[in-house]
Amino acid sequence: MQIKQLIEKIEGEAELDFTLSHGRVEDVTINFGFYRGIEEILVGKHLLDALVITPRVCGICNHAHLIASVRAIEDGYQKAGVEVALSPKAKGIREFTLSCELIQNHMKWFYLTILPQLERLVGAETGENYALKASYLSSTITKALALFAGQWPHSSYAVPGGVTCDPTYVEVMQAQSLLDETIRFFEEVVIGMPFECYLARDKALHLQEIAGDFGRLLGLMEREGMGEVGQSHDRFIVFGEEIFFRSGKSMATTVSGVDVRYVEEAIQQGSYAKAVSYKQRLYEVGPLARAMVAKEPMVKSLHKYYKDSLLTRIFSRVHEVVRLLDYSKTLLQNLRLDEPSATLPTLPKLDSLEGVGVVEAARGSLIHRTRVVEGHITQYDIIVPTQWNLSHGNALERGIAIEAMVGSETIEKASFIFKSFDICSVCTTQ
Amino acid sequence: MSIEKTDSSYDLLYRSFKERIAQLETLPKMDESNSIERAIEEKGFSRRDFMKWAGMMTAVLSLPSSFTPLMAEAIKVADRLPIVWLHMAECTGCSESLLRSAEPTIDSLIFDYISLEYHETLMAAAGWQAEQNLEGAIEKYKGRYILMVEGGIPTGNAGAYLTIGGHAKKGKDIAYEASEHAAAIFAIGTCSAFGGVQAAVPNPTGAVGLSEITHKPVINVPGCPPSEKNIVGTLLHYILYGTLPALDAYNRPKWAYRNRIHDLCERRGHFDAGEFVEQFGDAGAKEGYCLYKVGCKGPYTFNNCSKNKFNQGTSWPVQVGFGCMGCSEPDFWDTMGVVGEPLSEKLYNTTFSGMGADATADKIGVTLLSATVVGIAAHAVISTIKKPKE
Ligand code: SF4
């Protein structure tokens, strides 16, 4: 039996075609009926224009696109022999703003998608309007972001060699108080316990100790056996090196190095989305992958029991928020405002360059590749996280999200698993 | 209600607003069991917050403060005018900026509350049901609803670059049909107003602004993203006046897009003094000098960002030293040129070429603009001669 299902509320929409047999999902095809052609548009533009064009790929991870594009240019300069050394201040500001974007994304996903849909799925609706909590959290933290980046979405303040903003202690204090407010709300409402207590746990943590809305979500998931479903290939990859993220790939119990040169893109039949693989194999990206590669104790201990299940995947994303909030606090404390913001006094006039920019976006590794001839872009590739997770698969194996959905008893459950990957349609097809 | 005014010329306007509100009041509410007042109260806003907000919106629309109580009344009858919000080819950034990243401000509550009969990123219904909701809303509120469209309209390849819903309808057909029966049409954001980023050369999908596919008048509220105040203001303006606002040559409401960024810029004093940032990160940047030479397009861009700012008034690009990129002008991706480089003498191959000839609505703006260009050239010379300040 074939059933078509439209999935909305994923920054655009996707169409899933389910094949069912014996009351279970046997196969799924994922299609996006949407295309804008951003990579084509970049061709012929001045190399710096990528800094403002690529963020427009996505209204929700636009800042990550900005960082990837600025790094691609910096990498190109460096390969051409121009030294690009960011000041610790510029680096810190970029990390802080990136953390803020990740936090707002994860919390919107949690409150607008995962929690209400899980409640509906298992018939445990509270009728609460979670949108308000989502927007309170995300607006508070994006204000902190905007203090350095000017606005969100579509910030433009990162330039080759640093950032354009010159914050004073006033802005830093404002950012600190916005961050404190986010943490307070998070403690009271999301996890229902003090930060220190939460962070003091490693593997000994019993999920039952977590209270608040996150606790409620975990409780429902455990009750429904969601630690047993949604498993995929249990293979993870991370390319970005920042915040507390480390690059590498994790398979079985080993973590090994990766090289972005082996990332390949391929056109897929019947969809505007391209598939992406690493040495011909498929990998999951995102918060679960980041935790697995960095051997984050809490996620590792959960993974030991539940593998890459729905429960582990969802836990990892919210868990990442706690760590990001904590890390951001330290970042602000360590900012030295007397350091320079941008360190390339004049932008080198280079005729030709080729560079790769990598960043850990909310949904996983984001890669930009730029090729510039006579100051103008001749080729630009944007490889977004969702492409990794939503590839159709190849002759050897199914795509990551498809494998996770296969075996589900109902289409509703499968769609929920699909959303646990935090899908972004506009990024995937651009 | 007593009216205190100093300027009697507003009497007529005040009376016409009152009539308009009374008229709207007779229309059926969208949801008889609820009211905006109650919704606002439920979310924990006090009457004082609400009046403060009404006062701010009054100022945004350049009305005297004595109109504040009317503004408050207007918003209470807003639920007689359902809104249909459509997503076309876009990044979802406009609604991110309006609805999700806004704290539950009254702005976003009002949008949340007055209908949004069809807003994919918000509504709980998914898939087939969403499609039915749209058709239902159009049928039910024929000739009465306000259509807000976010995103450009791909027309290339017969519109195949955007298919929506279970019947794989083309985006352009949905937008056309929804426009046919709308009482007023607002294009929210630069994509919907002028085609936006996807319409940049070579425009692979043939993306156009909404006004290109409908014969009905479209009010453009551009910006990438647009300010939430401009979106809500456009709506309130329509509620109060019942007619389209005064528009400029690009169909932008004059109350919001009358001035150039440059006119109200906080760094303008430095521009006038010939003090420029020469390179990002230099001493001038630390001093907050003018960003013209590092690519600010504020002198050519009409919008009120310096007043509204973003993220609830937190900041805006000029404040963090990047400069304006011209995002509320048509085709700025191609015509405003390179990020980080001034437009200067390239001006006449740009957006404004030809504008001088048929300057009707914006005659004054354009004249001022040419004066500024001369000013910039002069300043640029001065500042290269002058030693940078210690
Ligand atoms: S050129 Fe830009 S930074 Fe300078 S005064 Fe004008 S708008 Fe402001």
Find all residues with CB under 8 Å of B183, minimum gap 6, and list them: B81, B143, B144, B145, B146
Chain B residues touching residue A52 (CB < 8 angstroms): 325, 339
Please check whether residues B244 and B161 belong to one and the same domain: yes
Q: What is the CATH number of the domain that holds A159?
A: 1.10.645.10
Provide the pLDDT for residue B218. Answer: 96
Q: What is the CATH number of the domain that holds B80?
A: 3.40.50.700
Please check whether residues B225 and B153 belong to one and the same domain: yes
Q: Which domain holds residue B129?
A: 2-256
Distance between CA atoms of A142 and A145, rounded to whole angstroms?
5
- Structural contact between residues A354 and A368, judged by C-beta atoms closer than 8 angstroms: no
The bridge status of strand A364-373 relative to strand A376-383 is: antiparallel
Which of A213, A223, A173, A174 lies closest to A193 in space, CA to CA? Answer: A213
- Structural contact between residues B195 and B146, judged by C-beta atoms closer than 8 angstroms: no
Please check whether residues B206 and B286 belong to one and the same domain: no
Please check whether residues B236 and B272 belong to one and the same domain: no
Sign of the CA dihedral running A256, A260, A265, A271? positive
Distance between CA atoms of A192 and A140, rounded to whole angstroms?
19
CA dihedral A195, A201, A206, A210 (to 10 degrees): 0
DSSP β-bridge partners for residue B101: none
Measured between CB atoms, does B111 come within 8 Å of chain A? no
Using one digit for the tens of pLDDT, what is the confidence trace for B161-203? 887 666 677 888 989 998 999 999 999 999 999 999 999 999 9
Find all residues with CB under 8 Å of B276, minimum gap 6, and list them: B270, B284, B289, B290, B291, B292, B293, B294, B379, B380, B383
Return mean pLDDT, chain A: 90
Average pLDDT over residues B208-236: 91
Using one digit for the tens of pLDDT, what is the confidence trace for A321-365? 999 999 999 999 999 999 999 988 677 777 789 999 999 999 999
Taking the centre of ligand 1 as the mean of its atom positions, its distance from the CA of residue B22, in whole angstroms, is 44
Q: What is the CATH number of the domain that holds B343?
A: 4.10.480.10
Q: Is A279 exposed, middle or buried (0-12, 13-18, 19+ CB in 10 A)?
A: exposed
Q: Which amino acid is at A359?
A: V
Please check whether residues B361 and B231 belong to one and the same domain: no
Structural domain ending residue among the three candidates B201, B223, B256: B256
How far off is chain A from B88, nearest CA to CA, in Å?
9
If pLDDT is split at 50, 70 and 90, which confidence band does B333 have? confident
Q: Which residues line ligand 1 (CB under 6 A)?
A: B 261-262, 265, 267-268, 271, 290-292, 296, 298-299, 318, 323-324
Using one digit for the tens of pLDDT, what is the confidence trace for B239-273? 888 888 999 999 999 999 999 999 999 999 999 99
Distance between CA atoms of A95 and B26, rounded to whole angstroms?
54
Please check whether residues B219 and B101 belong to one and the same domain: yes
How far off is chain B from A50, nearest CA to CA, in Å?
9
Between B285 and A60, residue with greater pLDDT: B285
Please check whether residues B266 and B250 belong to one and the same domain: no
Number of domains in chain A: 1
Q: Which domain holds residue A342?
A: 2-429
DSSP β-bridge partners for residue B169: B164
DSSP β-bridge partners for residue A20: A25
Please check whether residues B161 and B50 belong to one and the same domain: yes
Please check whether residues B241 and B266 belong to one and the same domain: no
H or E element, residue B376: helix B363-385
Please check whether residues B365 and B377 belong to one and the same domain: yes
How far off is chain A from B12, nearest CA to CA, in Å?
40
Number of domains in chain B: 2
Sign of the CA dihedral running A99, A58, B321, B314? negative
CA angle A393, A395, A400 (to 5 degrees): 25
Please check whether residues B214 and B310 belong to one and the same domain: no
Structural domain ending residue among the three candidates B256, B278, B310: B256
- Structural contact between residues B17 and B240, judged by C-beta atoms closer than 8 angstroms: yes
If pLDDT is split at 50, 70 and 90, which confidence band does A385 have? very high
Using one digit for the tens of pLDDT, what is the confidence trace for A4-27? 666 655 555 677 888 888 889 998
Chain-centroid distance, C-alpha B36: 23
Structural domain ending residue among the three candidates B230, B256, B282: B256
Distance between CA atoms of A312 and A315, rounded to whole angstroms?
5
Distance between CA atoms of B323 and B337, rounded to whole angstroms?
13
CA angle A198, A199, A205 (to 5 degrees): 60
Please check whether residues B209 and B273 belong to one and the same domain: no
Q: For A152, which of B163, B311, B321 is closest by C-beta distance?
A: B311
What are the angstrom distances between the C-alpha of A121 and each of A116, A234, A309, B121, B273?
A: 9, 25, 17, 19, 64
3-state SS of chain B: helix, strand, coil percent to 5? 45, 10, 45
